[in-house]
Amino acid sequence: MHDQDFNRLALSGRTALVTGGASGIGRATALLMAKRGADIVVLDADTDGLRGLEAAFSDTGNTVIARAGDVTREADIARAFDAAADRGMVIDILVNNAGTGARMPATELDTDTWSRVVDVNLTAAFVLSREFAKRLDRPGAVIPGAIINVASIMGVVGNQLYPNVSYHASKGGLVNLTRALAAEWASKSIRVNAVLPTFAETGLTTALLSSNSLREDILAKTPLGCLAEADDIAEAIAFLASDAARMITGTALPVDGGWTAV
């Protein structure tokens, strides 16, 4: 492979907004994108995780802006975009990574909990995407953009391991939101894709995966016989954001060790 082929994976001169970027898949994605040349804005409600984030990325040589905020609050979203604009940066990559779930039987799921999961996983992704597209759609300027929605394999299959119906429904909606926006915004030179991670080893899943029986069940359902790591998901996201994926839009890419193939 020639050097110019590798350069298509580079993100130099780009600015990415990563929600939920203080930990787990979001942090791995933000760090990888920074290493590939992008400036980064992180929006996360985890104030503890945000502490020291800018210093932790200092060796990349790129600007990293950490902003505390709730993705379900439109004012917090606007402030994240404005923080970049104040530094002369135009966000042209959006990673909708923030997410939550409610593991409980459907018969016990109250509507407030349902709404919170849908608001974080689906509605916030729409609002962020809408604001992203508005700010790129300026008279006389067409800036290619890329949106990557972090959905889940549970957005396209059911789950016999434990009940989590609001998560499934919201992630399924996110998959089809991806397709709808990809079709609508192709004329704006905005590509919209999703990744569908399987269970990944992160600090957020430590408690869940501490059950040996659950871990064994997951491995049994995964043809490659292993769990994902945050970096595996980050690599897929960074690829979809890059020029190497310039002809890819409206797709939902499983990063699941073959789970959805069988």
Answer positive or negative: Cα dihedral of 174, 231, 69, 49.
positive
Would you tell me how many other CB atoms lie within 10 Å of the CB of residue 105? Answer: 10
Bridge-partner residues for 191, per DSSP? 146
From 132, 167, 185, 259, active-site residue: 167
Residue with structure tokens 């109250």?
Answer: 110
How many C-alpha atoms does 241 have within 13 Å on its Cβ side? 33
Q: State yes or no: is 167 an active-site residue.
A: yes
Taking each helix axis from N to C end, the angle separating 124-136 and 165-185, rounded to the nearest 10 degrees, works out to 20
Structure tokens at 91: 């966000």
- Phi first, then psi: what are they for 227, rounded to 5°? -85, 160
- Phi first, then psi: what are they for 245, rounded to 5°? -110, 30
Q: Which residues are catalytic?
A: 167
